[in-house]
Structure 1
């Protein structure tokens, strides 16, 4: 009787060990399967494009705007003030009569806003944060302007999501490489391309 009980006990232990081994091996197999699941490929982001007519009318304005942008990238508020003054003057020299009569009123409003922002930048050579606030508004003004007037070059509208307490800020650049004018050396590479503005 003792022998039978011992044999029965050993059989049960052996069966239990075997079942445990099968269970852990199937669990391992499932885990291995989940680790080797194919990863989804990230699709490259398509950048929207706006086409504008070729025109030299805004060349001086764009040159001075881009010089201002570079000064802010370099954290140079004095140079930004100087570029802001030159931009203000270039905006004042724009010939509204060169545009369709139907667009002149809208364009005058855009230019007036842009001049006000450029003037603030030129008068605050010791307040780079204030300059950057007006520079952000200026980027919208100039984008609206070149949609009407045209451009002599391809431009990119870039976006920094962290600027202005995470509300974000936009600017124009002649390059799609990010050099952030809102943070300069603190976060030079923060941003992404929103729109390409190309010449027809």
Structure 2
């Protein structure tokens, strides 16, 4: 009986320590070009990163609605908010990664602000990959859904705040084409 109590106490202590050590990070699986890897997601959210996500979701929604003019407007807004991300609180490695991600994402957002809808959607593909990589570093206070359309350009993912699929690559042509690939929270 004494042996059973000792094992129970050790099990509770181990579980408590494990839970505490995982408090600051969440593990998410990323599917990068068919290759699975684990990434640590920082849960210390940045308000400007959340603003970038809001601008990204606005852009996604107008692409779903086939609205070229609004997509140009939101592309410009997103490019500006990407330039405002404060990376000072991140590690050197994260800063380097974020600089590359932001530079690439801003370039694609600017192209979206100057293009027809077909070209906007082409740039949105890479932009979505960049924003997903940014979220892996900055974290988010919201549950996000990485959705995937196997039909667009050999298969393409994007982020959404809703589980229901609304395809920004085909809009009204194939509004519900896709599936939820993973949940990020």
Correspondences of 1:143-182 after superposition (within 5 Å): 143-164=132-153, 167-182=154-169
For the Cα contact (< 8 Å) 1:64–1:83, is it kept in 2? Answer: yes
Query: Within 2, Cα distance between the matches of 1:49 and 1:55?
Result: 16
SS at match of 2:184: strand
Q: Which residue matches 1:185?
A: 172
Runs of at least 4 residues of structure 1 off by over 4 A? 48-51
Q: How many angstroms does 1:56 deviate by?
A: 3.3
Aligned-residue Cα RMSD (Å) equals 1.5
For the Cα contact (< 8 Å) 1:56–1:152, is it kept in 2? Answer: no
Unaligned runs of 5+ residues in structure 1 are 1-47
- More strand per residue: 1 or 2? 2
For the Cα contact (< 8 Å) 1:157–1:172, is it kept in 2? Answer: yes
Query: Within 2, Cα distance between the matches of 1:49 and 1:106?
Result: 18
In the superposition, relative to structure 1, how do residues 54 and 99 fare at CA in structure 2: closer, same or farther (>3 Å)?
closer
Unaligned runs of 5+ residues in structure 2 are 1-26, 30-39
Kindly provide the CA deviation profile for residues 122-181 of structure 1, in whole angstroms up to 9, marking residues without a partner as x.
111xx10100000011111011011111112111110001102xx011110001100000
SS at match of 1:98: coil
Equivalent residue pairs, number: 147
SS at match of 1:190: coil
Bigger-Rg structure (1/2): 1
| Bigger shift: residues 151-160 or 51-60 | 51-60
| Bigger shift: residues 152-161 or 97-106 | 97-106
* Greater relative CO, 1 or 2 (CA 8 Å, sep 6+): 1
TM-score with structure 1 setting the length: 0.70
Q: 2:96 aligns with which of 105, 125, 132?
A: 105
Q: Which residue matches 1:20?
A: none
Q: Does 1:85 pair with 2:85? A: no
In the superposition, relative to structure 1, how do residues 54 and 96 fare at CA in structure 2: closer, same or farther (>3 Å)?
closer
Query: Within 1, Cα distance between the matches of 2:69 and 2:80?
Result: 17
Q: 2:120 aligns with which of 131, 149, 152?
A: 131
Q: 1:55 aligns with which of 38, 42, 45?
A: 45
Q: Which residue matches 2:107?
A: 116
Query: Within 1, Cα distance between the matches of 2:28 and 2:88?
Result: 28
Q: How many angstroms does 1:59 deviate by?
A: 1.0
